[in-house]
Structure 1
Amino acid sequence: MDGGSITFSFFLIFTGAAIFASVALYTRQPLIIAYIALGAAIGPYGASLVTDLKLLSDIGHVGIIFLLFLLGLDMQPRALLATLRKSTVVGLASSAIFALMGFAVARLFGFSALESLVIGAAMMFSSTIIGIKLLPTTILHHRHIGELMIGLLLLQDLLAIMVLVLLGAAGGNKAEDTMLWEIAFPFLALPLLGAGAWLAVRYVLLPLITRFDRFHEYIFLVALGWCLGVAEVAELAGLSAEIGAFLAGITIATSPISQYIAVNLKPLRDFFLILFFFSVGARFELALLSTVLLPALLLSVLVLGVKPVVYRYLLKGMSEKRVLAWDLGFRLGQASEFSLLIAYVAIANGLIGQSASLLIQATTIITLLASSYIVVLNYPTPIAISDRLRRD
């Protein structure tokens, strides 16, 4: 068999995922851990059976796009605006605290001021996948904690876009006015994209769906095309594909067909998310871990310990219930997929060295693993090991 073919890679990944998932379930471990462990085992820094990580990572990223699209399908525009208003203060204050924490740890271990700023920025964000994937559907869509989580994660997405734009501009030696325009443009493009998507849905998409709603395959294709199309336009406008997909979902959330689309897209979303988590594990160079082990462990412990506490007190200050504040804090108590992307962009632009990039990657993966355990073993999730905690 051709070890470099995409078919053979898929065979290894999904057969391996089934085996690792079986072991994980027998030993009462979260399934996400199995997918990351599989990536480390057969990726280029393990057995080197799967080596085309760029392609697999890009394919796996589609899972995050579908995840945000499904979220949008279950949120009305008015509810979104109310949620963002409630979460803005908490999101900005918590991000500032986490950035200072990452900066201080990096400086403590001798990283330069610029590297420390990048490391601090990477610690600001929580994982959209861990936060949403491990929240039961009924809680996510119909309870206050789900609204708060979506608001915080969307705000973090906007901040992450700003950080990525800054990194790209800083690495390109661009003029100051050009940098300011590149930073401002995504925020000007966001309302325009939302308005354009709403008009397209009202005058094109919904009439088509209404006319041909008896052809289920057609609705499925239209939904896929709409989700990926708006995601692509969002990227061209300087936003992220995730935000575009979320807007695509919101704009058709009022349609009666939205729930049918959501149910049919879930298996496709899970297919791509398995690839995403595999690529996360496969990218990590275990042989180099020893060079940043101490700062990575310290930063991971701080992320896992400080983030829940910060969210708990900030949310309590907004009169949220103590139990909800702790619950949300632990569910968002990890680094993010955006942290990995920041590390890749920063090192590609020559802003940080290999050690700083590896520190961000190690901290992100350690916190993703540990946070998954914390949430799955202590809070209701769709993949809980305990029957008492399993919810969907």
Structure 2
Amino acid sequence: MVEVFELVIRDFAVIMIVASAMALLSYKLKQPMVIAYIAAGMIIGPHTPPFSLITQIEVLELFAEIGVVLLLFVVGMEFPIEKLRKVGRKASVIAAAEASGTFMAGYAVGQTMGFSFYDSLFVALAISVTSTVIVMRVLEELKMIKAEASSLILGVAIIEDIIIISMLAILQSIASTGDLSFVEIGASVGIVLAFIAGALLLGSKTVPKFIDLIGRTNQQDVLVVAMLGVAFGMAFIAFELGISVAAGAFFAGVLIAESKMHSVSAILATPIRDMFAALFFISIGALMDISLLPLFIIPALILVAVSFAAKFITVWSAARAQGFNKLTSMRAGFGLSASGGELALVTAKGGADVGATSAFLLPMIGAMTIITTFISPYAIKFGWKFAEKWKPQGEEEGTAAQAQDKETK
């Protein structure tokens, strides 16, 4: 027992030291931290020659699972129910069109490249993801956050996150049973929808009041324990129902966002999220078998191109159909096209967790995430400039935005 504890402590020290060094390098190069953490994992992992720097891979995987729960929990805290109501019908239609269009394109290309049925499904879902965090950070850095298209992008990304998390829960449920009958698929969809409805209807009447009650004690440590209890409790319920723990954690965050202690809760939860999210990304890198790189790099590049094209076309077409002008539609298309982000990795890990996907899928999605995360700032920056050149004389943003504002009000 003592020997195992010693090995775990040593592994944890190696993980933190290498991750810190890579994070500093990433900061100096002005690259996203997710790339640094994945690279750190690849350096210390068992698939990197000449030998692995860590011995207890199963402990790292455990930390990764906790990281998924906390990552999605804090993401959910950014989406209170009232905010979801204000997103508007137009953004919801565009999000549904983008997610479904990209999913179908990804599945078709996966089958064409000879992927198995489940590999194609999880790949299709992974390339449908757009990272709200990455896109919003890029828009802020480029001082474009106040543009009308940015509001549309945020609304679409919020709804898309919910769609992707719900679809992941359904896919994991189906893949774990291996039953593709309409009855089984219908049952899986029904369980997920019932869980979401129960969380939003029943949870919204109890969880916010519970958190506010704890908050009135002015004991921050007690509040942190209560929040984590809600997060892991919802994740456990989701797990027992046979759906993704990510879905449970996400909706736990949504419920806590309804409390009056939301701002304080978010501040207290963020450092915990950052540590375990880092461990999650490091574990993804460690589990990547880079010896498979020659096998998956070309498919990864193809899928990045398919994802970009499918997202741009579906967003552009749906935005125009909803009455947005050409400038806003094109900017939204570029803004939502490039980034995969953390949810793509959660999706890939979800397929691996239920044993439904092949060994190459996780490193391939990891490579795609690195590529899309790197090109996102350039795609948005130059894409928006390109949109300006195609703007008709006298056309400005806002025409459809004003209509959306009226709708949401």
TM-score (norm 1): 0.79
Q: Does structure 1 conserve the Cα–Cα contact (< 8 Å) formed by 2:45 and 2:287?
A: yes
Equivalent residue number for residue 42 of structure 1: 44
- For structure 2, which runs of at least 5 residues remain unmatched after alignment? 382-409
Q: Does structure 1 conserve the Cα–Cα contact (< 8 Å) formed by 2:7 and 2:55?
A: no
Equivalent residue number for residue 80 of structure 1: 84
1:282 Cα deviation from its structure 2 partner: 1.1
Amino acid at match of 2:277: L
Equivalent residue number for residue 162 of structure 1: 170
CA distance in 2, matches of 1:333, 1:174: 29
DSSP 3-state at the match of 2:63: helix
Amino acid at match of 1:147: G
- For structure 1, which runs of at least 5 residues remain unmatched after alignment? 381-392
DSSP 3-state at the match of 2:338: helix
Q: 1:378 to 1:18 in 2, by over 3 A?
A: farther
Deviates more, 1:117-126 or 1:292-301: 117-126
Q: Of 203, 207, 219, which residue of structure 2 is paired with 1:197? A: 203
Q: 1:366 to 1:275 in 2, by over 3 A?
A: same
Q: Does structure 1 conserve the Cα–Cα contact (< 8 Å) formed by 2:64 and 2:283?
A: yes
Equivalent residue number for residue 180 of structure 1: 186
Equivalent residue number for residue 294 of structure 2: 290
Q: Does structure 2 conserve the Cα–Cα contact (< 8 Å) formed by 1:125 and 1:160?
A: no
Q: Does structure 2 conserve the Cα–Cα contact (< 8 Å) formed by 1:94 and 1:311?
A: yes
Q: 1:109 to 1:182 in 2, by over 3 A?
A: closer
DSSP 3-state at the match of 1:256: coil
Identity %: 22
DSSP 3-state at the match of 1:336: helix
DSSP 3-state at the match of 1:5: helix
1:239 Cα deviation from its structure 2 partner: 3.9
1:202 Cα deviation from its structure 2 partner: 5.4
CA distance in 2, matches of 1:209, 1:78: 21
DSSP 3-state at the match of 1:100: helix
Equivalent residue number for residue 372 of structure 2: 371
CA distance in 2, matches of 1:73, 1:112: 36
Q: Does structure 1 conserve the Cα–Cα contact (< 8 Å) formed by 2:214 and 2:223?
A: no
DSSP 3-state at the match of 2:87: helix
Q: Does structure 1 conserve the Cα–Cα contact (< 8 Å) formed by 2:92 and 2:156?
A: no
Q: 1:94 to 1:280 in 2, by over 3 A?
A: same
CA distance in 2, matches of 1:6, 1:226: 28
Q: Of 101, 123, 130, which residue of structure 2 is paired with 1:97? A: 101
Q: 1:56-71 to 2 correspondence within 5 Å?
A: 56-71=60-75
CA distance in 1, matches of 2:342, 2:273: 22
Q: How many residues align?
A: 368
Equivalent residue number for residue 11 of structure 2: 9
Question: After superposition, what is the alpha-carbon deviation per residue over 1:42-101, rounded to whole angstroms, capped at 9, x for unaligned?
Answer: 101013112444432332343343343334434432321343744443333323332333
Q: Does structure 2 conserve the Cα–Cα contact (< 8 Å) formed by 1:197 and 1:251?
A: yes
Q: Of 230, 235, 249, which residue of structure 2 is paired with 1:231? A: 235
Q: Does structure 1 conserve the Cα–Cα contact (< 8 Å) formed by 2:208 and 2:259?
A: no
TM-score (norm 2): 0.76
1:341 Cα deviation from its structure 2 partner: 3.0
Q: 1:134 to 1:64 in 2, by over 3 A?
A: farther
Deviates more, 1:53-62 or 1:41-50: 53-62
1:111 Cα deviation from its structure 2 partner: 4.3
1:269 Cα deviation from its structure 2 partner: 1.0
Amino acid at match of 2:314: V
Q: Does structure 1 conserve the Cα–Cα contact (< 8 Å) formed by 2:300 and 2:364?
A: yes
CA distance in 2, matches of 1:252, 1:335: 21
Find out whether 1:255 has 2:263 as its counterpart: no
CA distance in 2, matches of 1:118, 1:331: 17
CA distance in 1, matches of 2:317, 2:182: 38
Amino acid at match of 2:345: E
Question: After superposition, what is the alpha-carbon deviation per residue over 1:241-289, rounded to whole angstroms, capped at 9, x for unaligned?
Answer: 3332333233333433221111122111111111111111111111122
Q: Of 279, 282, 286, which residue of structure 1 is paired with 2:283? A: 279
